[in-house]
Amino acid sequence: MYTQQNVQKQKISEILAIVAMALLLIYIADGAVGQGKRGFLPMSAAERGMLLGGSSIILFFISFGIGIREKSKITTILLITGGTLIGTAVLGVWLAKGGLAAVRPEFLGYVILGYVIMGLGIWRLLQKK
């Protein structure tokens, strides 16, 4: 039986995933415009990364945790898409800055976090079948 509490958890999970995706897209767009410097937001690349990038990662995990037992296609799709964007975008920047010769631990950590988020979305997808 689907209770009101389950519906609320589902909605909260969806809203958090939507906010996380919005922050991630703003972060990527600002980074693309700024090319490592200032973009259209009045903050440095480091501030942008901590505020927008870090917040989106945290919100994706919270969204997953809140909606872990709830059926939500929106949350599942956003987790897969968001994780893929995080992992691939960071991997792309990493390769553009010199590939393996320019290995920095934080790049590898963000790539792994992105693909973990994607994996959680895939796990949700497979769990529902």
Mean pLDDT (the chain, rounded): 85
Contact in structure between 71 and 18 (CB atoms under 8 Å) = no
Give the count of domains, the chain. Answer: 1
Does residue 45 have a pLDDT over 80? no
CB under 8 Å to 23, separation ≥6 — which residues?
Answer: 52, 53, 55, 56, 59
Tell me the pLDDT tens digit for each residue of 56-104.
999 999 999 998 888 889 999 999 999 999 988 887 777 776 666 656 6
Record the pTM.
Answer: 0.86
Q: Is 32 exposed, middle or buried (0-12, 13-18, 19+ CB in 10 A)?
A: exposed
Q: How far apart are CA 73 and CA 80, in angstroms?
A: 11
pLDDT value, residue 115? 94
Kindly state the tokens that stand for 35.
């090319």
pLDDT value, residue 17? 96
Q: How far apart are CA 83 and CA 18, in angstroms?
A: 13
Range of the domain at 13: 4-127
